[in-house]
Amino acid sequence: MQKAGRQDEVLALADRMRQLTDSIHLQERKIDVEQQEEIHQKETEITNRRQSLLVYRILAVAAFIICGFIVYLFWRATQYNKVITEKNRRLVAEIEQREREEQQAIEQLKAEPEEQLTAEQQLFRSICNLMDSPDHIYTEADLDRYRLAQLLGTNEHYVTDAISACANGKSVNGFLNDYRLRYAAHLLATTNDSVALIAELSGFSRSSFFRIFSDSYGMTPADYRRIVGK
């Protein structure tokens, strides 16, 4: 009986030892799992931080490149504006010189004795006197060779021939537009009136003024105003 009781105790003790061992192994596995999860979590955090840092660096580089590109574009635009401004200044100087020469030729013609002038030169001088009158007759939008002939008491063909012969082959419209353009340029330089209003005051239609001015002066009315205003 004693021997059987001891065997039961040994078996019970062995069973408790197995339970204890299993419990220890389970606890160890639990600890291992927790440690692995903690390690994985830390590794994930490190990876996320590295990715965030990489993204920040990429954004910083992209921002630097964009800023540099904007600065470059601004510099190029500034240089281009300087080139255009200098070109327009030269054009204005050339236009003013050309207009002075044309006016000098007209003044010289006016100073010649009438008996030394041809019929075409005499008629052209009368046309120029009419253009130089204080009422700026050339600003009338409907002024043409027929109206000029009526005002001068002559034939429109004579008007056309006189202008062509004495104004370097210009047409009547080209001759009148030169006066209108000079008047428009004067208003652009001396007033703050809108370009549209100046077009009307000079005898042009709004639709044609921009094209005619740009073709003749090599720049827009607004560009001309900026140049002569400096």
Ranges of each domain in the chain: 67-228
pTM comes to 0.67
| H or E element that contains 67 | helix 2-111
On whether the CB atoms of residues 228 and 92 are closer than 8 A, the answer is yes
Q: What is the pLDDT of residues 90-109, one digit of tens each?
A: 888 888 888 888 888 888 88
For domain 67-228, which architecture applies?
Orthogonal Bundle (1.10)
Q: What is the pLDDT of residues 56-72, one digit of tens each?
A: 888 888 887 887 778 77
Burial (Cβ within 10 Å: 0-12, 13-18, ≥19) of residue 99: middle
Q: What is the pLDDT of residues 4-32, one digit of tens each?
A: 556 666 677 667 777 777 777 777 777 77
Can you tell me the distance from the alpha carbon of 18 to that of 13, in angstroms, rounded to the nearest whole number?
9
pLDDT in the model for residue 190? 93
Can you tell me the distance from the alpha carbon of 175 to that of 131, in angstroms, rounded to the nearest whole number?
10
Can you tell me the distance from the alpha carbon of 175 to that of 168, in angstroms, rounded to the nearest whole number?
10
